[in-house]
Amino acid sequence: MRLSRVWLPALGLLLASCGEDASPFDGVKPPDGLRYTHPDPWAAGVGIPPPGPGGRVIITNSMDDTVSLLELDGATKPGWKELARVPVGLNPVELEGPHHTAVSPDGKHYYVGISNYVPGGGSGPHGAHGTGADDGYCLKMDASTHRMVGSVRVDPNPGDVIVSRDGNTLYQTHFDTLKITEVARRGGTQEEMFARMAVIDAKTMTRKSMVTVCPAPHAVRLSPDERTAYVACWSDEVAIVDLTTPTEKPTRVKVSASAGTAVTPRHQPYALTMSPTTGDVWVSSMASREIQLLDAKTRAMNPARAIRLPGAPMFGDFSADGKTLYMPVQGVESLHVIDADTGAIRSELELAPAGCLNVHQAHLTPDGTHALVVCEGDRLSPGTLHSVDLARGTVVNTVRVGIFPDSVSILGGPR
């Protein structure tokens, strides 16, 4: 989405070599003949049909400011491919890092976090994940035209974004590791490192409240009654937010007796997966390579239920009956099939032979027969989306998508 600025350095050289009166340019108006790649890249939306009855898959590509669209009905058929790859963002000449999506229950809109970071981009406003210095945004996109119909400015480094069951409220976290670094450098307290969670009116795209949560909060999930939000915190904690009184300080629960701090975390909680039957929360801790159980009834960790894995657990999903947890494991590039009652690993489905590198998320199809698994790739070239037949334990489709894909959602279709 970068537009040509070839005339800028040439203009600088010309002005440096000519007197003030000799310059043919006024310093404001570009020279004649300058043409941008597209004068208004999102004015007309994209010419693709709205999602069909089977639903549509949406992938955020954080390194090229696009979302990939695929028809869900094709996931099990030969020749599955992208339907379109459409631009998303506010600034056509800057990479803004779209990060995660949430889909409205009626299928009419989807929401994208604009993190204003670029992986590999170094420090500054567009640095590595969690180190952006600019404020982020949450964008509201029309699911038919893929045009932006609303936006709201939030804090730096938006992380996860989810929507309430009635579609009226969005919850967006801020994975602000830069704040941790800056506060630690000047000798501040851990409380000064806390970032906020934005509570957003999805209809008007205005902020209802900003809830101070914990250092670098990332994944967020709602309890079945939606009165509580659980948030993964980089400080080796899970924050429990009472949404009925969001002004109250959240309860923070250490994920382990060996927990570290925001500056020196030993576990690094990053993702959460909630059981659809018990409401228990499985915490994916990247550094300790464990998934750890937060009991929803006691609101305490159950260390006896922790499961050690051969790599970093990421964003998983549950079977509808709550008996099976499907957990992608980064580093070994596999999908672990776990008995949720016993913690036993039933099988490990290898994804690397199908081209997966740096697996990020698994999302079950509505009928529960397949998992859609997104893999980041090397973060410099296209990543991949895989359709996994869960009964056979095999990858049945692989699709190349954009650069550094980091989320998969399903728009429309059966619920």
Q: What pLDDT, on a 0 to 100 scale, did the predictor assign at position 412?
A: 82
Q: What is the pLDDT of residue 33?
A: 52
User: How many angstroms separate the CA atoms of 319 and 22, rounded?
Assistant: 72
pLDDT given at position 118: 53
54-66 burial code (b ≥16 CB/10 A, e <16): bbbbbbbbbbbbb
Q: With cut-offs at 50, 70 and 90, classify the pLDDT of residue 385.
A: very high
| Res 75: pLDDT | 96
> From the CA atom positions of the chain, what is the Rg in Å?
22
Say how far apart CA 285 and CA 63 lie, in whole Å. Answer: 24
Residue 7 has pLDDT above 70, yes or no: no
Diameter over CA atoms, the chain: 81
Specify the pTM. 0.86
| Angstrom distance (rounded) from CA 356 to CA 376 | 8
Give yes or no for a contact between 348 and 336, defined as CB atoms under 8 angstroms apart: yes
Residues near 402 by beta carbon (within 8 Å), at least 6 away in sequence: 59, 61, 63, 64, 66, 67, 68, 85, 382, 383
Query: Which helix or strand (DSSP H or E) is residue 179 part of?
Result: helix 177-185
Q: pLDDT tens for residues 17-64?
A: 444 444 444 444 445 554 444 445 445 555 777 777 789 999 999 999
Give the tokens for residue 381.
């070239």
The candidate with the shortest Cα–Cα distance to 110, out of 135, 145, 62, 74, is: 145
CB atoms within 10 A of CB 275: 18
Long-range Cβ contacts of 206-211 (<8 Å, 24+ apart): 206/152, 207/152, 207/154, 208/169, 209/246, 209/247, 210/155, 211/241, 211/246, 211/247, 211/250
How many angstroms separate the CA atoms of 193 and 373, rounded? 33
Cα within 13 Å of Cα(319), Cβ side: 13
Residue 48: per-residue pLDDT: 79
Mean pLDDT, all residues of the chain: 87
C-alpha to C-alpha distance for 374 and 160, rounded to whole angstroms: 16
Which of 3-7, 78-82, 130-134, 244-248 shows the highest mean pLDDT? Answer: 78-82
Does residue 213 surpass a pLDDT of 90? yes
pLDDT at residue 177 in the model: 93
